[in-house]
A and B are shown apart, each in its own frame.
Chain A
Amino acid sequence: MDTKPLVELDGVSKRYGAVAAVDGLDLTIDAGEFVAIMGPSGCGKTTTIKMLAGLETPSAGEIRLAGRRVNDLPVWERDTPLVWQSLALFPFLTVLENVEFGLRMRGVDRTGRRRRALSWLDRLGLAEFAGRNVADLSGGQRQRVALARSLVTEPPVLLLDEPLSALDAHLSVRMQAELKRLQREIGITFVYITHSHSEAFTMADRVVIMNKGRVEQIGAPKDIFLRPASRFVARFLGGNNLFAGRVARMERDGAVVTTADGSFRVARAAAAGVRVGDAVDLNVRSDRISLTQQTGWSGNEVHCRLVSEEFVGALVNLHLETAAGTEIVAQLQQRDLEMLDLSPGTGFVASWHPEDGHLIVPEAPQPLALAAE
């Protein structure tokens, strides 16, 4: 894989009056990468992709495509096709004419563009629909027409703005697999905007999590999943239990963190880089928590009461509360519940192994975002 950075965002900000939609964003994307940008509504992900496409101009910072500054390049002079959330297919053109559009605008002759458009339609399993009106296609087929229309010019990077959000859950899962396979085959960089964890984590090589216009964490899906870098990421991903506390002491095999719910051990790998006295959040994934009705099973234990249970198929989320008022979610297999008394208010002991704890160090104060200007 060519590792020369293809897309570079260098301190990019976008302000609307006093509001910063994107605030000092640094991001480098390599050729052939599948990057998902994820975050809640209003986190700046859509503004980011619009700036990449040239639909918005950054207020500060620099955007480079293949090393070339593109801040002021008009939309039509960039080769950054976008797959729209609304798909934005041209209703007055046939499927084939929609796919040909980009080639027609670039002055490719009739036979050339027909051949290339047909080959993309074929590749996406749409060959038989070439002459149809887009309105006659199903949601999934329209989705693929939108992909073909954007890919037909073989751009270095494809931008996708929540393209699967209009599809039903089943179709969305199928398209995720298809998109990932397509991206691997053609080796084009995908920058994919989504608010869905499953889409981002299933497809992307790297996930960027944004909040309030800033990057909270960039990393491989597994790293983010196992080691969220901030309280926000842990909460946004869900299924994490946070205990705010302080590092009380370091030991040979790890550290001890004191929280309102008691002292807990964490393994050495998780405690790397922290010092005694540091304020930290201890994070334990809900699927790593065991529930028993007696103490003495493991080192990290906390007494709690059952508040409610939430049935999610083969798994069950039990919502509990400790004496100090901390909410804990334990995710158990359906069959593990058979031995437990699940009436609300029942006392439990929640426990986990020191290796399953992970420490989040609250961010150091941010350097001033505009200092570089």
Chain B
Amino acid sequence: MIANRFVRRALLAYLGLVLLFAFAPIAAGFVFSVNSDRFPSLPLGSFTLDWYRAVFEDALVVESFRNSLLVGLAAAPLATLIGFAAAYADYRFRFFGQRAVLVLGLLPPTIPVVILGVAMLAFLARLGLAGTLTAVIVCHVVVCAPFAMAVARLRFAQIDPDLEIAAQNLGASDWRAFAAVIVPMAWPALMAAMFLSLAVSFDEYMIAWFVGGLNETVPVRVLGFLQGQVSPRIHAIGAVSFLVSILLVALAQMLTSRMTRH
């Protein structure tokens, strides 16, 4: 009993340390983003929102947020649609080369992003798209679709394949059965896939940097900052980016865990 309690406490302490290790740098970023000192050092100076003001008065930063938003809102629904369709095909049909198609669909995240970025840049340059936001959108669709597909597959694994056929048996044509059964059942997964794609797109740096040219997304802009000078403005951008990402991931997670209720 005592040994048990000791083990329990030790494990809790260990968990605390892991969380501290993971989140301390982020927390530090938050703290220094509202600290008046020019350099991150202790003791802290006074509370200020100057750095946030500076960030949002910087036209390049605002531009990068606008770009990120645009890319995310264009890429996430497309990636979700493609990923969902691929997962549905795998769930509903049996066809030759099914496993190969599945593996191909899930492949992009396993390729080093540098290679992916260079390859995409070379390809898009031939199409005359290099350096445009369209290029970033296209690339982010490719990067996000496997994540959307993975989330959709999780959901399909829980849907009894008889349900859709049962709907057809009750007079629903194949499209109506899809709309009346698969869409409502997969809806939380669709939303989760969408938020996850948004988060992935919002955080993605390397490919956006390769193919985006002067159209900088937020992570690209942050790196631009870091190369120039170390300013507490970095912490302010970091804090905002972190909040956006974590919110999207949390939404995705909430929807995914809600799926198991049905």
Q: Which A residues have a C-beta under 8 Å from some C-beta of B? A: 53-55, 74-76, 79-82, 84, 86, 88, 90-92, 101-102, 104-106, 135, 149-150, 153
Residues of A within 8 A of B171 (CB): 76, 79, 102, 105-106, 153
Distance in angstroms from A133 CB to nearest chain B CB is: 9
The reply to whether A149 and B170 form a contact with Cβ atoms under 8 Å apart is yes
Residue of A at shortest CB range from B177? A76
Interface residue SS majority, chain B: helix
Is B163 in contact with chain A by the CB < 8 A criterion?
Answer: yes
Distance in angstroms from A46 CB to nearest chain B CB is: 13
Task: Name B262's contact: one of A86, A91, A102 (CB within 8 Å).
Answer: A91
15 A-B pairs whose Cβ atoms sit less than 8 Å apart in the complex: A76-B174, A76-B176, A76-B177, A79-B171, A82-B166, A86-B162, A90-B181, A91-B262, A92-B184, A101-B167, A102-B170, A102-B171, A105-B171, A150-B170, A153-B170
The reply to whether B184 and A101 form a contact with Cβ atoms under 8 Å apart is no
The reply to whether B167 and A84 form a contact with Cβ atoms under 8 Å apart is no
The CA-CA distance from A90 to B162 in the complex, in Å, is 10
Residues of B within 8 A of A53 (CB): 169
Known contacts A86-B160, A88-B163, A91-B262; A80 and B184 CB within 8 A of each other? no
The CA-CA distance from A187 to B185 in the complex, in Å, is 35
* Pair count A-B, CB < 8 A: 61
Residues of B within 8 A of A54 (CB): 169
Most chain B CB within 10 A, of A76, A81, A86, A104, is at: A76
- Count residues of chain B with CB under 8 A from any CB of chain A: 20
Most chain A CB within 10 A, of B160, B174, B185, is at: B160
Q: Which B residues have a C-beta under 8 Å from some C-beta of A? A: 160, 162-163, 165-174, 176-177, 180-181, 184-185, 262
Ordered nearest first, which 9 A-B pairs have the shortest CB separation?
A: A88-B166, A105-B171, A102-B170, A88-B162, A75-B168, A105-B172, A91-B262, A76-B168, A76-B173
The reply to whether A84 and B166 form a contact with Cβ atoms under 8 Å apart is yes
Additional pairs, 5, CB under 8 Å, beyond known A88-B166, A105-B176: A74-B173, A88-B162, A90-B167, A102-B170, A105-B172
Residue of A at shortest CB range from B166? A88
The reply to whether B166 and A105 form a contact with Cβ atoms under 8 Å apart is no
The reply to whether A81 and B262 form a contact with Cβ atoms under 8 Å apart is no
Task: Name A81's contact: one of B163, B170, B173, B176 (CB within 8 Å).
Answer: B170
Distance in angstroms from A82 CB to nearest chain B CB is: 5
The reply to whether A75 and B163 form a contact with Cβ atoms under 8 Å apart is no
The CA-CA distance from A366 to B176 in the complex, in Å, is 45
Residues of A within 8 A of B172 (CB): 76, 101, 105
The reply to whether B169 and A81 form a contact with Cβ atoms under 8 Å apart is yes
Residue of A at shortest CB range from B169? A82
The reply to whether B169 and A80 form a contact with Cβ atoms under 8 Å apart is yes
